[in-house]
Structure 1
Amino acid sequence: MNIVSEILDQSQPIEEVSSIDAAAFKKNYFKKKKPVIIKGLANTWESTKKWNLDFFLGLEDDKDVYLLSDNFIQDDNRYRKASFKDYIKQLKDAEENDKNFKDYLTTLDIFEYYPNLKSHIDFSFFEKHTKVNDITAWIGPANTISGFHADTANNVYAQIKGRKMFIICSTKFNKTMYPSSKHIYGAVASDVDINNFEKDRFPEFKNNDFMSVILEPGDVLFVPQNWWHYVQALDPSISISNFGYTKFEVYSLKFKERIIQSLHKRGYYKANHCFCCEKN
């Protein structure tokens, strides 16, 4: 049973502001672990003005990337290797010719690949309070889904092109979000798939308090660490995530996660019980 509409109907809006500075952000949202939307913050960024599929095709280098399809979190899904430009060409062809296309590019370390693009964004209001920032791109067709999961880092999410819908839920409801036992680097997944909901397995899920928003191009959303969120693209879209770690978190949380991921890759921790292994 698909209960996305039902969850949206019972959800509340997320607080929205039209501008923000680093001090106000820290005081009112970062320290309080409170989500907020900064409307239109990225409208002045070069990325919002320039980035589209033709822009990416015009970049000098090509890179190997990893693709997903359908619901990355709850579906039986694995990464698949592809060329960045071949993927962009396929996505462009699907858009122009109205083809069914499900592959999408997730958590691309875009500034590692194309460092000259870093000047096209400005997360300074957030980065004044973090020591390390992992910035990744999300590029894909309409209807791509990242099911409910909770990132261990604070996340500032900028919508560059297209629209995306977010449903979020506080850490107060961790138990009734039904965390998965599968390993996922830097996050915890939920076993609940709201596109194929199983009421008998998750009887208390719909009693949780949810908030929701549709991000327009230029909007920026702060998702506090460990808050649950579901993301669905309403249009072909380009987005940027900034996962930020404080100095303390770099030497505690991030260090621990790297050790666990290293053990996982070597088969010592939850081997073959994960979301990250590449399909053959």
Structure 2
Amino acid sequence: MNLVSEIVENSKPIDVINEIDSITFKKDYINKQKPLLIKGFAKNWGATRKWSLDFFLNFEEDKDILLLDNNYIQDSHGFKKGSFKDYILKLKEAEKNNGTVKDYLTTLNIFHYFPELKEDLDFSFYEKHTKLNDVSAWIGPSGTISDFHADTANNVYAQIKGRKMFIICSPEFNKNMYPSNKHIYGAIACSVNINNFDHTRFPNFKNTVFNTIILEPGDVLFIPKKWWHYVQALDSSISVSNFGYTKKEMYTLILKERIFQSLHKRGYYKRNNCFCCEEKK
């Protein structure tokens, strides 16, 4: 059973504003761990004005990348190596000919690959309250899905091209989300697949209160840490996520996660019980 339409129909709204300053953002949203949609906040960013598939194809240098060969998290079969420009060409051809591309370019460390693009983004209203920021790009075709998961860090997510649908819910519904015991770096995965829902296995899932948000180019969404979220691309899209960490989190949360990740890679923690065992093969 596909639950997406039912969840969307019964979803509750979140706060929506057009402008915000860093002080208000911290006081009313970071401190209260409350989600927020800032409509059109990034519409004048260089990224929103310039970035496109053609923009990326005009780069002089190509880069080797890792592509996910299916939907992010539950149906993933791992990562495979590819060429950045070849992938962008596939997306462009699919757009032109109404074709299909299954691969998804996720969590690309875009500043590492293309440091000149730093000037095209402005997360300063958020970064005034963080000491470390992990900025990643998400580039993929229409229909890509990131199944429900909860990140351990606050995330400010900017939509650059195309539209994406987010379905989110508060950590107060953790038990209803049936957290997976599989290892995933920086997050907790949900065992429920809402595109193929099994009521017998997850009888309490429908008792959860969800919020649905449609992101358009220039929109910015704040997803507080530990909030569950499902993401579906409605168009071929380009997005940027910014996971921010305070000084305290740098020496507690990040250190802890890196230790567990290191133990996992060495086979001492949740060996073969993860979403990453095929990564980089």
**TM-score under structure 1 length normalisation:** 0.98
- Aligned-partner Cα distance in 2 for 1:60–1:121: 21
Shift of 1:71: 2.4
Shift of 1:215: 0.4
Aligned to 2:81: 81
Give the counterpart letter for 1:61 in structure 2. Answer: E
Aligned to 1:219: 219
For structure 1, which runs of at least 5 residues remain unmatched after alignment?
none
Give the counterpart letter for 2:222 in structure 1. Answer: F
Aligned to 1:178: 178
Aligned to 1:62: 62
Give the counterpart letter for 2:202 in structure 1. Answer: F
Shift of 1:221: 0.1
The answer on 1:49 being equivalent to 2:53 is no
Give the counterpart letter for 1:213 in structure 2. Answer: I
The one-character-per-residue Cα deviations of 1:46-92 (angstroms, maximum 9, x if unpaired) are 00000001111111222111111432222142111111111111111
The one-character-per-residue Cα deviations of 1:108-152 (angstroms, maximum 9, x if unpaired) are 000011111001000001000111000000000000000000000
Aligned to 1:32: 32
Taking the TM superposition and a 5 Å limit, the aligned residue runs for 1:1-280 are: 1-277=1-277, 278=279, 280=281
User: Tell me, what secondary structure is at the counterpart of 2:192?
Assistant: coil
RMSD: 1.0
- Aligned-partner Cα distance in 1 for 2:80–2:175: 32
Runs of 4+ in 1 over 6 A off after TM superposition: none
User: Tell me, what secondary structure is at the counterpart of 1:54?
Assistant: helix
User: Tell me, what secondary structure is at the counterpart of 2:252?
Assistant: helix
Q: After alignment, is 6-15 or 164-173 more displaced?
A: 6-15
State the number of aligned residues: 280
Give the counterpart letter for 1:137 in structure 2. Answer: A
Q: After alignment, is 61-70 or 166-175 more displaced?
A: 61-70
Q: Does structure 2 conserve the Cα–Cα contact (< 8 Å) formed by 1:69 and 1:144?
A: no
For structure 2, which runs of at least 5 residues remain unmatched after alignment?
none
- Aligned-partner Cα distance in 2 for 1:200–1:69: 29
- Aligned-partner Cα distance in 2 for 1:7–1:186: 26
Shift of 1:241: 0.1
**TM-score under structure 2 length normalisation:** 0.98
